[in-house]
Structure 1
Amino acid sequence: MDIIGDNTNKFVYKTRVVFKIMDFEKQLDTNWIDIISIKSDKFIIGSDEWYCGVKLNGEKFGLFLYLSRSSELPIQTQYDIFIIYNNNKLFAKTKIDQTFDDILNGWGLSSFITKQLLIDNKDILLTDNTLTIGFDITVYKRNNCHQNCGAKCHRFAQLFGIEELADCRLIVGKDLKVIFVSKLILSLHSEVFEKMFTTDCIEKTTNEVVITDIDSNVFEQFLNYLYTGKCDKLDEMTEDLLYVANKYMVSSLKTICLNLIYLQINGRNALQTLKLFQDFGADKELMKKVSESIAENITSVVKQEFTKHYAIDGQNISQIVKHLGNQLIKPKTKLMFYTYK
């Protein structure tokens, strides 16, 4: 997922969601007189929860995007919906602009394509009896991270690091870099800093905080988020920023980092991701999704771990994977994420 901040005081989130419906040929053989609804698992974009849905109604095949949970409304979106076939070729791509102003309100196309068109092209559009649907989603959100201060975010950015306006200095990293900050701004976003500056801590009287366990470049990105709501290097510093956000109890940044890590999960890093999420206390829903991803990537996970720790040949690994696979229930739907520029 790409996250872009700009001087218009908006965040732009971009991601691709791929929704797979298994055994779809059975649906083509079913009478759609009664409306049939198929929903994806929920997924996170920014701080909001979404899901995709399919509606089969009469001779119509409909595709929709739903907002399930949001920290604020309205939310402006732009998304392309399409069917993916034959090595990522796109079929019937359609662009939609929509503002979501209500929870559980779905928008899309009730007649994306006809049932007959699906039947006529099922040999092309269905791979292993699976229909693959794609959503390229762009979400535009206002950056209200400092609305309670009554100031615009770009003004906070301009004030960041000005010694004359600071009442505290941070000494950060192995290079002992000095950064001038406002106690008020840090305390607004972090309970840790608030307690540090309001209780009988040495930092309250010295107006100085020494932080040696965090690289100064990482901490500057963290401060940039506190001041402006933006992280210019979020992609390359995700795990480091997760550590800082967790240490200083900045839940919004922690959530963004956890979800970015989840979107990059694969067979090579699935177990490490699960351990990371355990260490940083990811919520139950996100832990469930990581466990599901491990199950879906079980072949790569097993091969990766056995290759790393044991000298076992490929044939025996394949037998282990086959045995594990027989114990898994094949899901009716599958949800995947891809980043794109």
Structure 2
Amino acid sequence: MAVPKKNKNWDWDGPLKNRMGKLLETGLWSDLVVIFGNKEELRLRTLVLRAGSPMFDKKITAAVETTGRLQIDDEDPNIFKMMINYLYTGKSDVNMNDALPLLKTASEYAIPGLVVQCESALKGKITDENALSLFHGAMDYAHKNLIKTSLDYICENAASILIRDEFAHLRLECLVEIIQQDRLRV
């Protein structure tokens, strides 16, 4: 049996997550081009996308498979790339600034492992300064776990949070949800 020629652009050794990361980085053997707006492109494998998200399985139709192109206009390219990185490598580098929009995107694409990582990143870093915005975002995206965690923090620290300017600017449903809590410590 003949040994196949080694591809100069590929490292056959190393852990799977490194090889998958290299596939993402290089676009090697890709069968799909994801286009953001009219400019930015990302070369991907439909197999990885479909295996990681039922939403991608729906989006990758016969027409997309024929053209090899998928237009994405409603997502922030950087957040989308973080999600794709997770699908390829199983890891994410979620930080506080990206966690809420990434949580929204991961929820929309039904990627539970990434949702959990985003929620964990957000829960561990709730402060007086960000509790209201996290609660507001959690209400926007209907994330029950994050709503509960941020609301618990707000109730525990109500004396310092309810005097913040942001409190007066919350939308009505958020204000009502906070004010109706019997456990507010004021």
AA aligned to 1:153 is K
The gaps in structure 1 that reach 5 residues or longer are 1-150, 310-323, 331-341
Hey, which of these two has a bigger chunk of strand by percent? 1
Partner residue, 2:7: none
How far 1:236 moved relative to its partner?
3.7
Decide which of 152, 159, 169 is 2:16's aligned counterpart: 152
Match of 1:254 in 2: 115
TM, length-normalised to structure 2: 0.72
Higher relative contact order (CA 8 A, sep 6+): 1
Match of 1:185 in 2: 48
Deviations along 1:309-329, one digit per CA (max 9) or x if unpaired, are 6xxxxxxxxxxxxxx9xx648
Calculate the aligned-residue CA RMSD, in Å: 2.8
List alignment gaps of at least 5 residues for structure 2: 1-14, 170-178
The 5 Å alignment of 1:153-172 reads 153-172=17-36
Q: 1:232 to 1:289 in 2, by over 3 A?
A: closer
Q: Distance in 2 between matches of 1:263 and 1:175?
A: 37
* Runs of 4+ off more than 6 Å: none
Question: Conserved in 2, the CA contact under 8 Å of 1:267 and 1:298?
Answer: no
Specify the alignment match of 1:292 in structure 2.
152
From the superposition, tell whether residues 307 and 219 of structure 1 become closer, same or farther in structure 2 (CA, over 3 Å): closer
| CA shift for structure 1 position 306 | 7.6
What CA distance in whole angstroms lies between the structure 1 residues aligned with 2:125 and 2:24? 32
Change (3 A) 1:170 1:161: farther
What TM-score does the superposition give when structure 1 sets the normalisation length?
Answer: 0.42
Q: Which has the higher helix share?
A: 2
Distance verdict in 2 for CA 1:267–1:153, change over 3 Å: same
> Contact 1:262/1:273 (CA < 8 Å) preserved in 2?
no
Question: CA 1:245–1:224 in 2, change beyond 3 Å: closer, same or farther?
Answer: same
1:271 corresponds in structure 2 to 132
Specify the SS of the correspondent of 1:178: strand
Match for 1:158: what amino acid?
A: K
Q: Is the 8 A contact 2:33 2:70 kept in 1?
A: yes
Pair 1:168–1:161, CA change in 2 (3 A): farther
Letter matched to residue 296 of structure 1: E
Q: Secondary structure at the match of 1:246?
A: helix
Identity %: 27
Superimposed CA distance per residue, residues 4-36 of structure 1 (whole angstroms, 9 cap, x where no aligned partner): xxxxxxxxxxxxxxxxxxxxxxxxxxxxxxxxx
Partners of 1:306 and 1:238 lie apart in 2 by 20
Shift of 1:268: 3.1
Alpha-carbon contact 1:175-1:216 (below 8 Å) kept: no
